[in-house]
């Protein structure tokens, strides 16, 4: 595939032939977090001689727009954002709704990136009259291709977008945020916020973001049920398993998102890296036992 900038073949759960999706996620983080700039989705991405891709920065009235202006701000802005998401109409009628629509356009694009559906800014891009051309320079890239399949008629898109906003809001307003020198540093730090933000929300987009951040450690399954069922049904492969860092996982128990199931389901709870580590261990043991 063209425009491949990284080698994903050695990563445990990376999906073959979907390299451009991972590269697009990296390009999104580079533009929005490292550079703190909004993306101009109406303009084609630039492609370097080495195949690297980069979004074009959005400008308004001759000035570059900061991404932190779209998802940051004081805590009351989160309530305004959630109210905007709940509205059926999203047409940008004033400066505030234009800002909210632009934030939603970025987050919807990110939400749809890993889905088996058209990657786009959705109706939020339409609300601010964005004609998308960001993908024009990406040879052989299929916008309909994804890393996981979700029944879109049952997907809680607004619930997902609310959580994604909360994650990035907390990330860009992080008082002690370091000066990131690479996208990999951003992804490592972002995982913490994916687990910690809005712990009362069971929006499965957490799983999507985890995989995009680290496709070696986090499997490309969108639902928590799939993860816990895998551990329960293949528990025989856990013989000999030992946690990598007991004290660290113990500390995470009260800080990270967890999910419990009704007793009738006979499933252990989802416990963030405790569950994720078991999935990796089982997956590796199953791979070892595969016939030659």
Q: What integer is the mean pLDDT of 249-264?
A: 92
Q: Rounded to whole angstroms, how far apart are CA atoms 42 and 57? A: 10
Structure tokens at 94: 């004033």
pLDDT of residue 231: 96
Structure tokens at 172: 């860009």
Q: What integer is the mean pLDDT of 166-195?
A: 96
Confidence grade of residue 90 (pLDDT, cut at 50, 70, 90): confident
- The CA-to-CA distance between both ends of the chain, in Å, stands at 28
Q: What mean pLDDT is reported for the chain?
A: 92
Q: Rounded to whole angstroms, how far apart are CA atoms 225 and 198? A: 19
Q: What integer is the mean pLDDT of 159-185?
A: 95
Buried b (16+ CB within 10 A) or exposed e, 272-292: bbbbbbbbbbbbebeeeeeee
The per-residue pLDDT for range 14-73, each reduced to its tens digit, is: 999 999 999 999 999 999 999 999 999 999 999 999 889 999 999 999 999 999 999 998
């Amino acid at each position: 595939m063209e425009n491949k900038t990284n080698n994903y073949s050695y990563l445990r759960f990376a999906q073959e032939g979907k390299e451009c999706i991972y590269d697009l996620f990296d390009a999104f983080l580079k533009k929005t977090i490292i550079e703190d700039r909004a993306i101009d989705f109406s303009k084609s991405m630039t492609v370097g001689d080495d195949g690297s891709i980069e979004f074009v920065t959005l400008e308004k009235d001759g000035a570059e727009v900061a991404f932190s202006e779209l998802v940051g701000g004081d805590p009351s802005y989160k309530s305004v954002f959630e109210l905007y998401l709940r509205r059926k109409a999203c047409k940008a009628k004033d400066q505030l709704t234009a800002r909210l629509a632009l934030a939603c356009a970025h987050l919807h694009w990110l939400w749809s990136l890993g889905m088996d559906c058209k990657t786009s800014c959705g109706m939020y891009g339409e609300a601010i009259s964005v004609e998308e051309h960001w993908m024009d320079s990406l040879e052989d890239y299929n916008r309909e291709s994804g890393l996981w399949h979700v029944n879109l008629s049952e997907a809680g898109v607004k619930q997902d977008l609310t959580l994604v906003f909360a994650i990035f809001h907390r990330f860009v307003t992080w008082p002690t945020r370091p000066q990131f020198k690479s996208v990999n540093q951003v992804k490592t730090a972002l995982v913490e916020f994916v687990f910690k933000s809005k712990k009362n929300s069971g929006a499965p987009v957490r799983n999507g973001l985890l995989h995009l951040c680290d496709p070696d450690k986090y499997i490309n399954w969108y639902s928590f049920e799939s993860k816990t069922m895998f551990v329960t049904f293949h528990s025989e492969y856990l013989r000999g398993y030992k946690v990598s860092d007991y004290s660290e996982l113990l500390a995470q128990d009260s800080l990270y998102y967890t999910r419990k199931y009704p007793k009738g389901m006979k499933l252990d709870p989802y416990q963030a890296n405790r569950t994720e580590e078991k999935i990796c261990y089982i997956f590796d043991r199953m791979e070892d036992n595969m016939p030659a």
